[in-house]
Amino acid sequence: MSTPKRIAGCLSMLTVASAALAQAPQFGQPIAPADIAPWDISIGPDGVGLPPGRGTAIEGEAIYVAYCQACHGEKGIGPSNALAGALVGGIGTLAPDKIPVKTVGSFWPYATTLFDYIRRAMPFQESKSLTADELYAVSAYILHLNGIIGATDVLDAHSLPNVRMPNQDGFIPFPRNPK
């Protein structure tokens, strides 16, 4: 290609590029808050975002037996599914001289995480299928099996963040944005 032709080619490419830049970016439609809401379900340790509803361990037992026991074992011990793991026991085993048994009861620092996790991920084959009452009740049952709350203690948006987990102080704070 001759030099004048190359220059002409470059100029025409520049014209096309600047025409594209002049257009507004085509990023699609703004998403409506109602469309985000079903995805925006994260619950932090303070419990902000917990839905209305309530449940006790006594109510949660039937839900556990129906929807969880097949994989996580009777009363959260002895799971049939090695990946699923035990949900109960091991409290006090996270110590230098012991073999650590990590469960919801022995390891998890916040009870709100239990609600959040079950709501988004369990039952494994049918996640997001339980109602808020069922989620509070089955969370209460697992906490009760771990000896953390009583059989008739009511879990709801107010009481769940106040449940103190045995390993709450077992984590080293890791500041992500040190000042």
Residue 72 interacts with ligand HEC (CB under 6 A): yes or no: yes
Residue 82 interacts with ligand HEC (CB under 6 A): yes or no: no
Which residue stretch of 30-38, 50-58, 70-78, 165-173 sits at the interface with ligand HEC (rule: CB under 6 A)?
A: 70-78
Length of the chain: 179
Q: What is the x/- site pattern for ligand HEC, positions 115-154, by CB under 6 A?
A: --xx---xxxx------------x----------------
CA proximity to 84, closest of 94, 93, 75, 73 = 73
Rounded distance between C-alpha atoms, residue 65 and residue 79, angstroms: 13
Which residue stretch of 7-15, 112-120, 156-164, 171-179 sits at the interface with ligand HEC (rule: CB under 6 A)?
A: 112-120
Structural tokens at position 41: 């379900």
Q: CB 171 → ligand HEC: shortest distance, Å?
A: 15
Q: Which is nearer to ligand HEC, 124 or 151 (CB)?
A: 124
Residue 139 falls in which region: left (phi positive, over 0), alpha (psi -120 to 50) or beta: alpha
Cis bond upstream, residue 123 (ω within 30):
yes
Q: Hey, what's the torsion of the CAs at 41, 44, 49, 52, to 10 degrees? A: 100
Which residue stretch of 18-26, 43-51, 83-91, 171-179 sits at the interface with ligand HEC (rule: CB under 6 A)?
A: 83-91
Residue 88 interacts with ligand HEC (CB under 6 A): yes or no: no
Residue 165 interacts with ligand HEC (CB under 6 A): yes or no: no
Per DSSP, the residues of 99-131 read -----HHHH-SBHHHHHHHHHHH-SGGGTT-S-
Q: Which residues bind ligand HEC (CB under 6 A)?
A: 67-68, 70-72, 81, 83-85, 87, 103-104, 114, 117-118, 122-125, 138
